[in-house]
Amino acid sequence: MARKPQQQRSKATVDAIIQAGFICVAERGVGATTTRHIAETAGIGVGSLYEYFKDKEAVFDAMNQRMVEEVVGMLQAAAPAISRLPIGEAVKHILTLFGEFLQGNDQRYLKCARQAMNIDLKDYVGPISKLLTQIVMQHIMHHPEHMRLRRIPAMSYIFINAGIFSVVRHLSDPNPPISYEELTQGLADMVDHYVAQELLLTAPKA
Amino acid sequence: MARKPQQQRSKATVDAIIQAGFICVAERGVGATTTRHIAETAGIGVGSLYEYFKDKEAVFDAMNQRMVEEVVGMLQAAAPAISRLPIGEAVKHILTLFGEFLQGNDQRYLKCARQAMNIDLKDYVGPISKLLTQIVMQHIMHHPEHMRLRRIPAMSYIFINAGIFSVVRHLSDPNPPISYEELTQGLADMVDHYVAQELLLTAPKA
Amino acid sequence: MARKPQQQRSKATVDAIIQAGFICVAERGVGATTTRHIAETAGIGVGSLYEYFKDKEAVFDAMNQRMVEEVVGMLQAAAPAISRLPIGEAVKHILTLFGEFLQGNDQRYLKCARQAMNIDLKDYVGPISKLLTQIVMQHIMHHPEHMRLRRIPAMSYIFINAGIFSVVRHLSDPNPPISYEELTQGLADMVDHYVAQELLLTAPKA
Amino acid sequence: MARKPQQQRSKATVDAIIQAGFICVAERGVGATTTRHIAETAGIGVGSLYEYFKDKEAVFDAMNQRMVEEVVGMLQAAAPAISRLPIGEAVKHILTLFGEFLQGNDQRYLKCARQAMNIDLKDYVGPISKLLTQIVMQHIMHHPEHMRLRRIPAMSYIFINAGIFSVVRHLSDPNPPISYEELTQGLADMVDHYVAQELLLTAPKA
DNA sequence: TATGAATGAGCATTCATTCAT
DNA sequence: CATGAATGAATGCTCATTCAT
């Protein structure tokens, strides 16, 4: 039976297990990660893992939650600044933050992100998508002329997903045909040009 | 010892195994697909599976290869027509073909595509990306004014990947916030607007 | 290190553990009863259980002993009265007492009795058998004509065992084909008729 | 997935597993018998056990069934002869057969019988009880004067259960206070005297 | 060539017991 | 005394792979 960590030591152990989970999944993939590997990596006995987590799946869930929390925290902190940037730069800024996040921690988050994508796409990308949608809305608030854009929900969905997947895929590619700088610049231009063209097409006549 | 199928019967068995693989993975996911399931679904004994494939992984590889072949065949057949369409319509046409392919065969290809993404992304998306890059080039040939576009390789890479992942993710989402029609239209507009804006920005003065 | 409880509080804890043992075994069976369950039910920590009992088996032993003590106490209190009853009524009285004992305490003793039978039949049934044998002897003392009965030890053994097992089995059967009243009456008649017939067969001629 | 044994070799393996089950349970008890022990004793790999049995419980079920089948077969063969014997001798005959059965096979059936009693008393004793009830009825058919006996169902139930449990308990007792011969003779007398006394009490007057 | 019985390493999970606090 | 976190051996069970037929 998994108990709630109430003491300081317990909290540290839970953290160690989650970190071990990231390490193992990054090294061997989700499918090949066993409870024993996680426990060993965390420096504890197998039984102890079950003191804190109901089962293996619960460890993966906690990992997902942790990753989402970190991304969300990072984006929330940056949100106000982002709103004030021109659209292209805003996109670039977000992608740079996101890229740094995935590259950090020995690329473990990146490797886990790839694994998580097809396991549980709703919980994983879901909250992040939601926050990004909010950021888009805030950005529009600061740039009233963008309210003229058509089909904002659909295009937000497309740009957000395209951005997330492109970044994850690019960083995972050992031999990417373009640099990360080119990728972020390209995605930024993509959004920027789209917006510019829409504003042009919907411009009030004379 | 896996042998190359040299006879007609062998070829049929190999096909049956690959099809069974698609069925099993679609029904239960990669992780829960066992050699026994595949063999039973294919209507053969477990031992026979190993006559044609070195191990389970080889079956998955063959499935990947088969899927790629089909997509490539489909796109190659459509390539000439695509080249002649305006850019937005070209994108939409490709995405429609791709969507139909993933939806067909009882959505088995779609389900397998999601699973395959994080297993082996280089072999899976690689050849398709390559072909799409060629199609982009052919399209530019037919639309010489597009040669003025900057950073064509980078932007091709971005649009192609964004397109593939957006479509797979959207079709896999049981509750997508936008319709498939909206998705394809949005992606088409995205490319169309980008190109229009680029042409505008790079227009020779006067 | 299990210590002998020398203080009042210790005695109460030991009792709590034994009672918790009965509750757990009754609820889940011996095989599914864990030290954690017992400790939790007793309202103490797992570690504390080992302050009073060497290991899990020691708890079961104490439970056995406790149960035997209670049965023995109950029978000893009733022994004088039983001796004065006619044989059939004596049997019925004993069986009624025994039945009430097993039914009481939420049937916990009954459930534990069934479990205990095959674990440790010597310690469990032994002392009770011994006491019942004594009661038989006392009864014979009060009914001198019964001294004429042949093979008293063997028949005591048979009747006592038959009685105990029949009662435990009957009460454990969720769908018994006869009522408990019928069972006790039948066992009483069995003994009564046996004795009557023996007296008849061994009657002095003339 | 447990498969039905269709071939000769398979049948032999199933038998080996069941026999191994008897050996292990006799040696270590039900609770301490593991699938690995059974497989090793049967001279096969663990996995093979699961080719023929769904899980461990299925092995125990098969053991129960096997034991019941043998007892039932034995009793059915003896039933006609038993019907013709006087009641006391009939009882003794049955008990002798039963005792021999339990003693045979290295006392393994005896040891398993004790274990089985409290695990699954309905399936285990049930069919045997049913058959014994039939034998009682047949015996009465051959001895019409016994139809005068009162409460035949109740008394059959009592004598049958008393007999089974007394025998199992006696044979399991390493230090029984009476011999098996004394036990069977006592049980036979018990029934014989009961019947005689009943006939006496219910005799038509004058 | 085809088969499927046999294998056993490996997995997730449990639980009696210990020991530092 | 009391605790409960930590332990790891042990369990039931699965499944990729082999090999005798």
What gap in Å lies between CA D151 and CA D169, rounded to an integer? 27
Q: Do A194 and B196 lie within an 8 Å CB cutoff? A: no
Query: Where is pLDDT greater, at B93 or D172?
Result: B93
What gap in Å lies between CA D193 and CA C195, rounded to an integer? 8
pLDDT of the residue at C183: 96
- Chains A and B form CB pairs within 8 A to the count of 110
Q: For residue C173, is pLDDT > 70?
A: yes
What gap in Å lies between CA A99 and CA A110, rounded to an integer? 9
Give the position of tokens 């993509």: A190
What gap in Å lies between CA D194 and CA A90, rounded to an integer? 101
pLDDT-wise least confident of B135-144, C166-175, D18-27: C166-175
State the pLDDT confidence band at C205, using cuts at 50, 70 and 90.
confident
Token pair in block for residue B147: 């040669």
Of A117, A153, A185, the CB nearest to B117: A117
pLDDT of the residue at C125: 75
One-letter amino acid for residue C143 of the chain: H
pLDDT of the residue at A10: 78
Is the shortest CB-to-strand distance from B4 to strand E under 7 Å? no
Quick one: A94 and A196 in the same domain? yes
Residue C172 touches chain D, beta carbons under 8 Å = yes
Residues in chain B with pLDDT < 70?
A: 1-8, 117-123, 206
Answer yes or no: is C91 within a domain.
yes
Answer yes or no: is A206 within a domain.
no
Which CATH number do you get for residue D16? 1.10.10.60
**Residues 37 to 76 of B: which have CB under 8 A from any A CB?**
none
What gap in Å lies between CA B126 and CA B132, rounded to an integer? 10
Token pair in block for residue D66: 């096997």
pLDDT of the residue at D8: 64
Q: Identify the burial level of A204 via C-beta atoms within 10 angstroms of its C-beta, where 0-12 means exposed, 13-18 middle and 19 or more buried.
A: exposed
Average pLDDT of chain C, as a whole number? 90
Candidates A136, A184, A185; CA nearest to A158 is: A136
Average pLDDT over residues C88-97: 95
Quick one: A73 and A159 in the same domain? yes
Question: What is the full per-residue pLDDT of chain A (206 aa) written as tens digits?
Answer: 555 545 666 788 999 999 999 999 999 988 899 999 999 999 999 999 999 999 999 999 999 999 999 999 999 999 999 999 999 999 999 999 999 999 988 889 988 887 776 655 556 777 888 899 999 999 999 999 999 999 999 999 999 999 988 999 899 888 889 999 999 999 999 999 999 999 999 988 76
Quick one: B38 and B106 in the same domain? no
State the pLDDT confidence band at C50, using cuts at 50, 70 and 90.
very high
pLDDT of the residue at B4: 53
pLDDT of the residue at C163: 93
Quick one: D34 and D70 in the same domain? no
What gap in Å lies between CA D32 and CA C31, rounded to an integer? 10
Q: Do D118 and C121 lie within an 8 Å CB cutoff? A: no
Q: Which nucleotide is nearest to D56 (CA to C1')?
A: F12
The residue length of chain C stands at 206
Query: Tell me, in Å, how far CA of A52 is from C1' of F5?
Result: 10
Vertex B69 angle, CA B65 and B72, to 5°: 135
List protein-proximal bases of chain E (any atom < 7 A from a CB): 1-20
Q: What is the pTM of this model?
A: 0.89
Quick one: C138 and C112 in the same domain? yes
**Single residue among A54, A77, A95 that ends a domain in this structure:** A54
Residue B121 touches chain A, beta carbons under 8 Å = yes
Answer yes or no: is C206 within a domain.
no
Q: What is the pLDDT of residues A68-115, one digit of tens each?
A: 999 999 999 999 999 999 999 999 999 999 999 999 888 899 888 877
One-letter amino acid for residue B104 of the chain: G
Q: Do D196 and C194 lie within an 8 Å CB cutoff? A: no
**B149 Cα distance to chain centroid:** 26
Q: Do D121 and C169 lie within an 8 Å CB cutoff? A: yes
**D205 Cα distance to chain centroid:** 41
Average pLDDT of chain D, as a whole number? 90
Quick one: C178 and C150 in the same domain? yes
pLDDT of the residue at D87: 96
Q: Which nucleotide is nearest to D33 (CA to C1')?
A: F11
What gap in Å lies between CA A76 and CA C107, rounded to an integer? 61
Quick one: B187 and B114 in the same domain? yes
pLDDT of the residue at D165: 87
Q: For residue C5, is pLDDT > 70?
A: no
Containing structural domain, residue D191: 63-201
Answer yes or no: is B206 within a domain.
no
What gap in Å lies between CA D187 and CA C154, rounded to an integer? 10
Residue C92 touches chain D, beta carbons under 8 Å = no
Provide the domain count of chain B: 2
Answer yes or no: is C76 within a domain.
yes
What gap in Å lies between CA D190 and CA A29, rounded to an integer? 73
pLDDT of the residue at A121: 52
**Which residue places its CA closest to the C1' of nucleotide E11?**
A34
Quick one: D111 and D87 in the same domain? yes
Going by the DSSP 8-state scheme, the letter that residue C146 receives in this structure is G
Closest Cα of chain A to B7: distance in Å? Answer: 36
Candidates D6, D105, D112; CA nearest to D60 is: D112
Give the position of tokens 């039932």: D72
Structural element, H or E, at residue B38: helix B35-42
Of B30, B165, B173, the CB nearest to A165: B165
Average pLDDT over residues D59-78: 93
Going by the DSSP 8-state scheme, the letter that residue C54 receives in this structure is S
Answer yes or no: is A96 within a domain.
yes
Quick one: C69 and C171 in the same domain? yes
Quick one: C184 and C121 in the same domain? yes
pLDDT of the residue at B70: 93
Which CATH number do you get for residue C107? 1.10.357
Average pLDDT over residues D100-127: 78
Answer yes or no: is B77 within a domain.
yes
pLDDT of the residue at A96: 95
Residue B28 touches chain A, beta carbons under 8 Å = no
Quick one: D25 and D69 in the same domain? no
pLDDT of the residue at D172: 87
Answer yes or no: is D206 within a domain.
no
Q: Which nucleotide is nearest to B9 (CA to C1')?
A: E1
Task: Concatenate the DSSP letters of all residues of C72-122 into one string.
Answer: HHHHHHHHHHHHHS-HHHHHHHHHHHHHHHHHTGGGHHHHHHHHHHHH-HH
What gap in Å lies between CA C146 and CA C168, rounded to an integer? 28
Quick one: B1 and B93 in the same domain? no
